[in-house]
Amino acid sequence: METDPQYLKLRAIFEAALSRIDPYGMLKDRLRLEHTGGGDLLVAELEQQRHVVDLSRFRRILVLGCGKASGRMARAVEELLGDRISPRMEFGGLVCVKYGHTEKLTRIEQAEAGHPMPDEAGVQAALRIAELAREADEQTLVINLISGGGSALLPAPMAYVDGGREVQLTLAHKQEVTRALLACGADIREINCVRKHLSELKGGRFLRLLAPATSLSLILSDVVGDRLDTIASGITSADESTYAQAQAIVEKYGLAPKLPPEVVRCLELGAAGDIAETPKPGDPALDHATNLLIGTNHAALLASCDKARELGYNVAPLTCLLTGEAREVAKFLAGIALDVRRSEMLVKRPACVILGGETVVTLIGEGKGGRNQEMALAFLAELERDPEHGRAISFLSASTDGSDGPTDAAGAYASTMMLDRARALGLSTAAALGANDSYHFFEAIGGLYKTGPTMTNVCDLHMLLVE
């Protein structure tokens, strides 16, 4: 791919988006200290929002967080606040990141844990963060750094009472739930609705542990629509979903036989009102909590558009709210590309069409891949139908966190050159799609796009070039 000019242009467009949504840079741009006669003020300015915190009110500043970008966010906060953060030996803070996503920090500790499948390291990090939250008092300012991946990285299985007997959910239970939800085609809001109602921290329950401390949460969105109650399962926001809705999602996808009976029973008891609900709007736990959204997929999409124009393309940004089954979305995008190639229906050539969002994959095979690799594979299959016009078309689908599904690739690149390589090796797009084995298909033809950990996460980007 390194000699393909279209691939190099697509990579440059994607990298421009990554640069714009670097969490370290965003926090450095959006946070500042102002010195007044009465003390220091922490000021956050985000588009039309301006939030001011009088630091003289607090005896202690504690930094907590979770998510793939939380380490990089912590670095920016450390540089800004310095020794105002409690010393590390006094627990100045703790953030939980995905393995390999750490930063050099001096006052805030980092724990590494598994994603997308939660692991025991995540459980231990959740216990430590919960303990620190309980110790916070009314003279403590807690700065929460939250980004995508936080839900899996901070698993805190709840306990409930059933007929006078305490039942403790376990990590194994959470892993089975996560595995079933990821495989069935549920979207992130559905996945997080279920996870919230099995957790001691998610769905705003974390705020109940923090009270009466003041909390300021700085949030990087990795969900379509940027709903605060969905990002990292909404640990610092009110939750409008219910146990009854979580139970309905399990029924919708026929998951009950695949889930541990303790999990199914928990949802049943919650839906019947026998387990306390997550905090709803108006809950006292929200009184001292402020949530600020610092970065979104929309910002990434705008940056990629700027770069594409710089490269000489006529740009059509379609949406940053893309959802649906990955292979079906690929058919839609291939149709757009062919229309532009044949008749310039949407935009004049040379054209760049850009979309953002997050699709899903319903697993039917036992192969390896992620939603972006599956989309690129399905797009390649569509190019097979019209190879003449397809010669002018190239496509890159990639995750902004650098990890597409349980793989080391961010996504994959599709073009007729990739199709020629597949044919030369006797590879079938249809067979690979049937096995959900996009990773090995693109690995064989050199079409995987690997960035390594990007330390950020704002959903996916999908980019078409039509020459």
- CATH number of the domain residue 135 falls in: 3.40.50.10180
Judge if pTM exceeds 0.85.
Answer: yes
φ/ψ bin of 220: left (φ > 0), alpha (ψ from -120 to 50), beta (otherwise) = beta
- Within this chain, do residues 50 and 185 fall inside the same structural domain, yes or no? yes
- Within this chain, do residues 283 and 331 fall inside the same structural domain, yes or no? no
Beta bridge partners of 216: 143, 290
- Within this chain, do residues 224 and 283 fall inside the same structural domain, yes or no? yes
- Within this chain, do residues 272 and 373 fall inside the same structural domain, yes or no? no
- Within this chain, do residues 429 and 334 fall inside the same structural domain, yes or no? yes
| Among 235, 262, 296, residue at a domain's last position | 296
What distance in Å separates the CA atoms of residue 263 and residue 261, rounded to the nearest whole number?
5
Number of domains the chain is built from: 2
Reported as half-sphere exposure (CB side, CA atoms, 13 A), residue 75 has a value of 15
What distance in Å separates the CA atoms of residue 240 and residue 203, rounded to the nearest whole number?
9
**What CATH number does the domain containing 341 carry?**
3.40.1480.10
What distance in Å separates the CA atoms of residue 150 and residue 327, rounded to the nearest whole number?
27
pLDDT of residue 408: 95
pLDDT of residue 262: 97
How are beta strands 109-113 and 93-98 bridged, if at all?
Answer: parallel
pLDDT tens digits along 190-223: 998 999 999 999 999 999 999 999 999 999 999 8
The band of 388, judged by pLDDT with boundaries at 50, 70 and 90, is: confident
- Within this chain, do residues 459 and 350 fall inside the same structural domain, yes or no? yes
pLDDT of residue 464: 97
- Within this chain, do residues 372 and 447 fall inside the same structural domain, yes or no? yes
pLDDT tens digits along 149-199: 999 999 999 999 999 999 999 999 999 998 999 889 898 889 989 999 999
- Within this chain, do residues 185 and 325 fall inside the same structural domain, yes or no? no
- Within this chain, do residues 250 and 394 fall inside the same structural domain, yes or no? no
| Among 296, 313, 330, residue at a domain's last position | 296
What distance in Å separates the CA atoms of residue 19 and residue 163, rounded to the nearest whole number?
54
| Among 237, 271, 296, residue at a domain's last position | 296
- Within this chain, do residues 57 and 197 fall inside the same structural domain, yes or no? yes
Note if the bond before 23 is cis, omega within 30 degrees.
no
The band of 263, judged by pLDDT with boundaries at 50, 70 and 90, is: very high
- Within this chain, do residues 102 and 230 fall inside the same structural domain, yes or no? yes
User: Average pLDDT for residues 310-325, to the nearest whole number?
Assistant: 96
- Within this chain, do residues 311 and 365 fall inside the same structural domain, yes or no? yes
Q: Which structural domain range is residue 409 located in?
A: 5-14+298-466
pLDDT tens digits along 104-163: 999 999 999 999 889 999 999 999 999 999 999 999 999 999 998 999 999 999 999 999
